[in-house]
Structure 1
Amino acid sequence: MAQVGINTQTPDPSAVLDIVSVQKGLLPPRMLNAQKNAIPSPAAGLVIYCTDCTNCNTSGGELQVYTGSGPSQGWKCLSSTTGTSFTTDCTNTTLNGTLSAGDPPTATITMTVNVSSIGPYNIASSVTDGVQFVGNGDFTSTGIQTVILSPLGTPTDAGSYTWSITSGGSTCLVSTTVQQAKSARIVKVLSLTGGYNLGTVGGGWFNNLVNSNASEFGSGGVVKLANVQFDAVAYNTINQSNLATTFSQYDIVYFSGVGAASANVWNDATENALVSYMATHKSVIIMEGDDYNVNYDWVTILSKISVTAVNAGYSGFMYWDSPLTNFQNSPIKGTFGNVTGLGYSNPNGQAWSVTTARTDLAFLRSSTAGNPIVGFWDPTNYLFYSGDDDGLGQASISCSNTSPKSTTNCTGGAYTLRGTRWFANLVAFAVNSVPAKAYITD
């Protein structure tokens, strides 16, 4: 019978392979549990080391053998079932710190365990959004102890994610929001002549978002939009030259026409240039105005993409509606929190609603009377339309009737809502939606 001997000329007669060494061991293939389960038709006796299995009263990592496909067979543990033993308290499992897409993470997961038998441990979370949390060491005493899991990898995309951690007989879930990428993003505000010049708000509406204190984050505080630079530039006219030169310098351009005299700003040439630029550069455009006269030319632009906007003429309290079943990553439930059911008083009745025969639009709804569709996301033209009094230009908001509201530079009027989580969600939505350059206009 043929035999193979490694480091020996006389292999044991009972072995087809005899390996001799006093310095090194035999290392079987190492893989995740999901990879192990994906092995097609494993042979009985196949041996692997599962790096994230916890089936044998271990805290992570097991030597396993496949015993067959019959009853009570399958992958069985070769690891010792004695040694380290502990239980995990999922209620005290938390993620500490923040994660940002594209940046090496510094956040950690803290777990509370109750050790009944001392020994080594190895705990690993699922791999989610490119990040896994792991921890290992030795329990040298029994009782309640704290374990810290450190991150491996780098977050891939912004959004809400959940990590699962199976250890100590429990599966714990930890969720957090991965912030937008910290790569340089420049927002340029092109404020047309009008009453709502966004670049002149006391302290700057956008700077409120950027510079807010971490302690103010929450339902009653100012949201924080990190790592975004802001420039304010005013233009009385927008033409092809502006579109081709100024706009192309930035990742995002917020183009404000609220309160401007449309006859002095918009004409057929401007509209055609803007629509053409949208189609050529796949720019994101966020549109809104404060009455029909100002919006007349916006309606003309909308008609060129098969959407009609009309003055809904309602009043009362307005709030964001839910669910938005056809709106993935809706700014209502965005990076900075869920604002469903929150809103503000709307005494003027200037809201705009939209109609369209297109079936590819994702609609934004509110509690308005009549047509509730007051906004939409157009994934073909990268257009976000938001009718007036639904969150951008409402001029009659006060600090007392806005929810959620800014705690910094809250002076009322059209600017108040721009210091809220809703508006920060909208900016983050634009940042995360654009494949190349983003151009936003209101």
Structure 2
Amino acid sequence: MTQSYFSIKGCFFGVLFLMITSSIYSQVGIGTVTPNASSVLDVTSTTQGMLTPRMTSVQRTAIVSPADGLMVYDTDLKSFFHYNTTAVNWTRISSDFSGGRNKFKRIKSTDVLATVLAAEKAAGGGSKYLLDSGTAYEINGTIAVDLPIELNNSYVIGIDSGDDKLVKATGDLFVGTTGGSVRVLTLTATAGKVFNINGGGNQNLIFRDSIILNSANVGTIENFSLVFLSIVQYAGNSNGFTFNTISKLLLSNMGWFGNNAGTFEKIEGTFGLIQKQGGFSEVNGTAIGFDVSSNPIINGDAVMESVVFTGSNSAGYIRGYTPATYLGYNFNNNWSVRCAGIPTEVDAAASGNIYLNRTLTAPVFNHPSLNQGVKIPGTTIASNLYRMGITTSSTSNRLAYLGKKSRSFTIAASVAFEASGSSGNTDYIFYFQRFNAAGLLVSRIISSESFIDANSGFIQNIPILANVQMNSGDYIELFSERILGNDKNMTIRSVNVSMQ
């Protein structure tokens, strides 16, 4: 009995000692008898870890009045979170996102959108999901979207566009007045528009590495500062994109398959610049590959290069400017177009021809003084004009360049004339003169000067050749000059001038 008494007594005093020690030092050690002096709790092990509370995202966000610094492990997002009472939200401690992105949400096909996007739904007034600016929303699987989405300068991304999808059964998918970034997804708006966004003139939108599939309408994007689409496939859509009034529109490697209908890409309004580069448009039936029939205004430059237009639409892949600027061509002088399947339209192809209208009386004129240039008279007819001689008169021996960029031309002319008088032989010189769009003389083209000793009463022919650099709006005219002799009068029998 005595031994048992002392054993119980010793145990009692041992526990009491531990309690006193813990009270004095305010430290607890697990797996160690010497807890670190800076810690309240020191857990030490080389074979085991420590478990914090584990719960789903719904359970975490349902915690009532979480304390500042409360920490849990989210089993949905596979990450630790702590609560920040100043920011009034849960902050991610670790992430499988490179760089530890804090503003990140993963939306899975098994999620209830009204729950996982509860804050976004509230921000959208219950009628749309207004995404959080700067947040990356990862789409995991096929998400059936019940309300339209406003990007609000967020990032909506998938990992594999074949598996990660946003599908809207009725109405539009992306709406609102803001831009953002959409990448690596398949998008479908079965009975509406995939995009229906008016950016107010100062928003940017990036859409790339994606698929738009089986939609009633790919949509409308208007009033943006920058729209950049790259590596996007389109299949089974009833109508395509309308782009309206965008400062910079960049379309890179768009793939329009032959099972799309309607108009694939339509350009309306006013643009600073447009570039459409690479890709293909397979245009079948009554579909239209590219539509500029609303006569969009291009303040800068518009370039379409290396796009393959193909398909069974015999009516034409392009719906051009109306009325056509040039017969047989689709675009105006602000465009540079080099694509398989449609006419090439570039400044380098500018060319034209004028010739004397011989159904009229042959023009007669005189050279009143020696060494005084006189413009060759007569009414000329223009033919085969491309970026030449439309807005500046091409009649009366004038051929104007109407392209946008300065370029060099070869000019060739042939004049048949008959000098008249009684003094015998008279020497003449023929040459071109260049004028600017305002009608001011820029230069006499010395290299074009051709001399001839005219014989009165005989029809003679003389060629005139020149190379000349011309700016937009510049034009050339053909002149002659009497440099010797007294036969002042000349009758023009024919004039042909070509420039290319």
**Same fold by TM-score greater than 0.5:** no
More helix by share: 1
TM-score by length of 2: 0.24
Larger Rg: 2
Say which structure, 1 or 2, has more relative contact order (CA 8 Å, 6+ apart).
Answer: 1
TM-score by length of 1: 0.27
More strand by share: 2
